[in-house]
């Protein structure tokens, strides 16, 4: 089979049993170490404006053999997948409207512009989570885990 990787863990299992360590405990340790590596890699790749996105990337363990790693800020999914016509799932440009009695203020080049509404093309995708996952696991392993259903990349709310 081309580009296939296989690992025989039977000798590792024998060594763990001989050391009195169960396979479940060893698997938990591997999952925790891998999750921390993924978190670190994703944080180093996250776009930085204020640092809030980077600092929000956390790990949750719903059970001993599962780790969920991701941002806790609401805009994290939009940074990962992009929005509007620039996103991975294009919806076209969208309109941003100021609240009643307010105006939008933004910069175009060196000029400050004020408007009641603007049409925005969207933000481009920045794959900080996927790239972090791939850096931690390697492309072949990640592809294999995704195909086997042992790793999952979700689009978050409203997906």
What pLDDT was estimated at residue 90?
81
How distant is the alpha carbon of residue 138 from its chain centre?
15
Helix 128-137 and helix 139-148, axial crossing angle in degrees, nearest 10? 110
The structural domains of the chain, with segments of one domain joined by +, span 9-81+125-159, 83-123
Judge whether residue 15 has pLDDT over 80.
no
The H-assigned helical ranges of the chain are 10-18, 23-45, 52-56, 76-81, 128-137, 139-148
The pTM for the full model equals: 0.74
pLDDT confidence tier of residue 25, bands split at 50, 70 and 90 = confident
Judge whether residue 158 has pLDDT over 70.
no
Average pLDDT over residues 9-24: 66
Judge whether residue 18 has pLDDT over 90.
no
What pLDDT was estimated at residue 26?
79
Locus of tokens 């259903």: 149
């Amino acid at each position: 089979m081309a580009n296939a990787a296989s690992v025989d863990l039977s000798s590792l299992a024998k060594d763990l049993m001989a050391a009195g360590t169960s396979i479940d405990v060893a698997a938990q340790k591997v999952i925790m170490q891998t999750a921390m590596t993924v978190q670190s890699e994703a944080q180093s790749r996250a776009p930085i404006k204020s640092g809030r996105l980077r600092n929000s990337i956390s790990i949750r363990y719903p059970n001993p053999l599962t780790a969920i790693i991701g941002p806790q800020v609401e805009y994290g999914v939009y940074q990962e997948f992009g929005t509007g016509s620039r996103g991975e799932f294009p919806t076209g440009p969208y309109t941003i409207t100021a609240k009643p009695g307010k105006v939008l203020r933004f910069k175009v080049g060196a000029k400050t512009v004020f408007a009641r509404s603007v049409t925005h093309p969207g933000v481009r995708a920045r794959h900080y989570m996927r790239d972090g996952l791939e850096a931690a696991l390697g492309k072949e392993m990640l592809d294999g885990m995704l195909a086997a259903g042992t790793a999952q990349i979700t689009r978050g709310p409203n997906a």
